[in-house]
Structure 1
Amino acid sequence: MFNKARWRLTLWFAAVVAVILVVIGGAVYFTARTSLFRQVNSDLEAHAQREVIQPLANRQLDPGRQSLVDIATAGGYFYAITGADGQVLQRTPNTDVTGLAAPADLSPSAKFIDTRSSDGDHLRIYLQPVQGPRGNTFFVQVGRSTEPERTALNRLVLILAAGGGAGLMLAFAGGFLLAGRALAPIQTAVAKQRQFVADASHELRTPLALIRANAELLERDAVKPVAANITSVHDIIGETDRLSALVGQMLTLASADAGQEPAERVPVELGALAADAVREMRLLSAEKQVSINAHADGPAIVEGDPLRLRQLLTILVDNSIKYSPAGAAVDVRARAAGERALLQVTDNGRGIPAEAVPQIFERFYRVDKARSREMGGAGLGLSIARWIAETHGGSIDIQSEPGKGTTVTVALPLASADLPGSASTAPQPDVSLDR
């Protein structure tokens, strides 16, 4: 699909460039042709006035006598005087009578005509009617060959054709490269979408299969009391909760792909947010026997969506607790640094391998797939966290060392000092929840 689109774009680009080259080449050719023949016309008229018409007016030249014989014919100019019937009265020796204007071309006004010599050369003739001494009309014809101009124009055509052909080849090659670059992001997006659909289908298949298996077990044991199959009921509820969480995460990512911004922008104090997150995660931390602490080093107020920012922090704290062994500690710290507010979640858990860190924000990516699935993770949380940080004009960074722990830092722009209604601008007290 993309190869066809790439070739189609290349051909369109080459066609547009070809049209432009033809237009430019045509403009150059006709401009050069007009300029050359305008100069030829000017020279012919000047020679006619100087060599024939002015001498006739000054009675220095008699149309009835062979006075043109002595006119210099340098530059290839030839001169002739004809009667109204086209009969040649006088001419210079280099005049080719075949190339003179025919009687049908004679007119009462001056004009330029193109003819051919007996050798087939192109000639241009300036034709000017004049009054003779006895009141009769004669026609002065001054001309020369235009083969030099035509040769120059033919050479110009060859140069334009060669240059245009080379330009078209470059345009074709450049268009192919540009089309590839233009389609690369689309191709990547489509590939990611296909991968997302495939991964989502895989993630949904497992809980659905478990729900179906437990439901079939309940159906076979329908005569037994519910208490006898309470494990199957719990499994169905657990998988349903997991499906609900997965669908919610997928909807969030769909909003991210659609470019939706956070629903509201209000002042949010990150110290208060950290304290609330620690209180919210107390049951999970107690269950995992992990101590969790929140610290606020002074006010750190940002402008954003409180629900989305809470979701971001919950994802980070939840990951730290889930992937930390019993006895580990999780530290949540909020502080201001320059023009940024920093939110850091640090644990001393098992860490992340260095080769996995660059991929950690990819959708459905899990360092330990089997263990993540056992813990209910689908590999979407950090993708959502990064989207939330970026939609708030911030960034998220992970520093981890296997066996020593992980630090996740979210940097957000500090809110303007004059924002009204700043929430909890005073530093929040430290909150500590031990196992």
Structure 2
Amino acid sequence: MIGRRARSERPKRSSSTTPAVARLHRARWLTTLLFAATTAACLVVLAAVAVHTDAQSRTHRVDDDVTHRADGLARTIYYDDQGRLRLDGMTDDSLADGADALGVVQAQAQPGQTGTPAPAVRYAKPSTAALPDQSGLNDIWQTLQHDQETVLVTAPDGDGTRYRWAATPIFQGDKIDAAVLVGSDPARSQADHRKLTEWLAAGCAALVLVAAAVGHLLSGRSMRPALRGLEQQEQFLAEAAHELRTPLTALRLVVENGGSAEGGAPAALDEAVRRVDRMGRLVTGLLARARIEAGVQEVEHTPLRLDQLVEQTVAELPDPTGITVDTEPVVVDGDPELLSQAVRNLVENAVRHGGGTPVEVAVTAAGVTVRDHGPGVPAEDRGRIFERQVTGAGSSGTGTGLAIARWVAELHGGTAQLTDAPGGGALAELLLPPRSSG
């Protein structure tokens, strides 16, 4: 039987590198890349919006804080009866405790100076160095004189650290005589912003990888039907070649020997017609099997005489010499074309690999048995030779015959198996369930 030398020959599977399969694999990777790129683009846009929104939010939070402190502390400062600026209420206020930098400047005219007087520091916390230098104070003072309300500026302190400052004017009469400056170091907020940006970048990268993996998985799942269709196509071609090789050879011999055969050309023509009819049934069975495997057709279950089907199948073989058939009347529900193919494959397999020994076919209520008297099949190879496209060394077949037989049996609720025959040889069994009484 097929697979007698399977221990020295590994199963040959259909190649997965055919041009069509390669194109599908390229399409899968392209789909994965497009999915990942689209996801990355969307995440980049969302991350950019999040980073920009966070930056603006932190800036507004700092501005609101220093503005609130400057306005509140400005209300605690007043002038006494002698017109002196009193800071007692400011130094005791809780708003002053949480400020990074705090100062009060007051206009101080210099002798001989004309125009707007320059601001002089009246109070500084934690030190004068925490306030902008004189040039920075002059710029803030000029802005206050122009806007006549609280202003927000960014300026370095005495050490060069850039602070966000809120300056609230203090009026004496209708003129700005002093101002409260509250500064905040944005370094902590900027550090938190950078950390958020880094986390967003890492999260986006991780999500892109996850999206790529999911996209690759989904594209693979979506292409499985196409790959399965290609595999079924290759399998159909292999099975068609296996099924049609023998009848085509027999038909060729009939045509070539028609003139010299007994009965002459008319008899050869009749035999050729019978061979062509058999090939027509084979093609019909092949198409039915392909449609069933593709899921577009269901198995036909009709009552039939299994013994008559086996006898007809053996009689249609190119050379039934050496094949004996022992039957009893058996009725089963099944597809006649598929069952005929399964029986024919078992018998041809026994003839081909039985070493020229007699082949005995029997039909019982359990199914069909085919026995040869050849060397048999090793026990460890009996299951593997029923796999499709397993080729035994030195075999001329494609290794689909026994696989088709088992497939047909399973479609009918049975199975096909190979065991040792009593006294030597191999026994192939096509086991079918009994016909239901309904």
Same fold (TM over 0.5): yes
**Would the aligned equivalents of 1:246 and 1:378 in 2 still touch at CA under 8 Å?**
no
Could you tell me how far apart the structure 1 residues matched to 2:166 and 2:392 are? 89
1:349 aligns with 2:371: yes
Q: Which letter maps to 1:252? A: A
- Cα distance change, pair 23–352 in 1 and its aligned pair in 2 (3 A): farther
**Would the aligned equivalents of 2:341 and 2:405 in 1 still touch at CA under 8 Å?**
yes
1:277 aligns with 2:303: no
- Cα distance change, pair 122–399 in 1 and its aligned pair in 2 (3 A): farther
Q: Which residue of 2 aligns with 1:125?
A: 165
**Would the aligned equivalents of 1:285 and 1:291 in 2 still touch at CA under 8 Å?**
no
- Alignment partner of 1:77 out of 82, 87, 101: 101
Could you tell me how far apart the structure 2 residues matched to 1:229 and 1:121 are? 113
Q: Which letter maps to 1:76? A: D
**Would the aligned equivalents of 1:65 and 1:90 in 2 still touch at CA under 8 Å?**
no
- Alignment partner of 1:255 out of 284, 291, 304: 291
Shift of 1:401: 1.1
1:240 aligns with 2:276: yes
Q: Percent identity?
A: 21
Shift of 1:261: 3.8
Q: Which residue of 2 aligns with 1:134?
A: 173
Shift of 1:260: 1.0
Could you tell me how far apart the structure 1 residues matched to 2:205 and 2:360 are? 75
Could you tell me how far apart the structure 1 residues matched to 2:261 and 2:329 are? 47
Shift of 1:255: 1.4
Shift of 1:23: 4.9
- Cα distance change, pair 26–180 in 1 and its aligned pair in 2 (3 A): same
CA offsets per residue over residues 2-57 of structure 1, 9 Å max, x none? 4533442342243244335435644654565455445434532442244223x14x
CA offsets per residue over residues 292-325 of structure 1, 9 Å max, x none? 34679xxx9xxxxx7x655555555666677596
- Cα distance change, pair 382–108 in 1 and its aligned pair in 2 (3 A): farther
- Cα distance change, pair 127–332 in 1 and its aligned pair in 2 (3 A): farther
- Alignment partner of 2:419 out of 388, 394, 401: 401
**Would the aligned equivalents of 1:79 and 1:95 in 2 still touch at CA under 8 Å?**
yes
Q: Which residue of 2 aligns with 1:47?
A: 69
Q: Which letter maps to 1:397? A: T
Could you tell me how far apart the structure 2 residues matched to 1:284 and 1:206 are? 14
- Alignment partner of 1:291 out of 310, 317, 326: 326
The equivalences for 1:210-229 within 5 A come to 211=251, 215=255, 227-229=263-265
Q: Which stretches in structure 1 are left out of the alignment for 5+ residues?
A: 301-305, 334-344, 390-394, 415-422, 426-435
Could you tell me how far apart the structure 1 residues matched to 2:140 and 2:232 are? 78
- Alignment partner of 1:115 out of 150, 154, 177: 154
Q: Which letter maps to 1:52? A: A
Paired residue secondary structure (2:288): helix
Paired residue secondary structure (1:250): helix
Could you tell me how far apart the structure 2 residues matched to 1:280 and 1:34 are? 86
The equivalences for 1:30-429 within 5 A come to 30=52, 32-33=54-55, 36-37=58-59, 39-53=61-75, 55-56=76-77, 65=85, 67=87, 71=91, 75-80=99-104, 88=119, 92=124, 93=128, 94-96=130-132, 98=136, 101=140, 107=147, 113=152, 115-117=154-156, 121-126=161-166, 132=171, 134=173, 141-162=181-202, 164-165=204-205, 186-187=226-227, 189-194=229-234, 196-197=236-237, 200=240, 204=244, 211=251, 215=255, 227-230=263-266, 232-233=268-269, 236-262=272-298, 273=303, 276-281=305-310, 288-293=323-328, 309=335, 323=350, 329-333=362-366, 345=367, 347=369, 349-350=371-372, 354=379, 355-360=381-386, 362=388, 381-382=404-405, 385=408, 388-389=411-412, 396-403=414-421, 405-409=427-431, 425=438
Could you tell me how far apart the structure 1 residues matched to 2:312 and 2:223 are? 49
Could you tell me how far apart the structure 1 residues matched to 2:267 and 2:329 are? 37
Shift of 1:190: 2.7
Rg comparison, structure with higher value: 2
**Would the aligned equivalents of 2:169 and 2:179 in 1 still touch at CA under 8 Å?**
yes
Could you tell me how far apart the structure 1 residues matched to 2:153 and 2:409 are? 78
- Cα distance change, pair 406–38 in 1 and its aligned pair in 2 (3 A): farther
**Would the aligned equivalents of 1:256 and 1:387 in 2 still touch at CA under 8 Å?**
no
Shift of 1:96: 0.9
**Would the aligned equivalents of 2:79 and 2:85 in 1 still touch at CA under 8 Å?**
no
Could you tell me how far apart the structure 2 residues matched to 1:63 and 1:212 are? 130
Could you tell me how far apart the structure 2 residues matched to 1:348 and 1:216 are? 32
Q: Which stretches in structure 2 are left out of the alignment for 5+ residues?
A: 1-21, 108-115, 352-357
Shift of 1:251: 1.3
- Cα distance change, pair 367–384 in 1 and its aligned pair in 2 (3 A): farther
Q: Which residue of 1 aligns with 2:27?
A: 5
- Quote the RMSD (CA, aligned, Å): 5.4
- Cα distance change, pair 43–160 in 1 and its aligned pair in 2 (3 A): same
Could you tell me how far apart the structure 2 residues matched to 1:346 and 1:61 are? 126
- Cα distance change, pair 310–231 in 1 and its aligned pair in 2 (3 A): closer
Could you tell me how far apart the structure 2 residues matched to 1:247 and 1:311 are? 10
Q: Which residue of 1 aligns with 2:44?
A: 22
**Would the aligned equivalents of 1:353 and 1:401 in 2 still touch at CA under 8 Å?**
no
Paired residue secondary structure (1:78): strand
Q: Which letter maps to 1:9? A: T
**Would the aligned equivalents of 1:115 and 1:125 in 2 still touch at CA under 8 Å?**
yes
**Would the aligned equivalents of 1:361 and 1:383 in 2 still touch at CA under 8 Å?**
no
Paired residues, number: 372
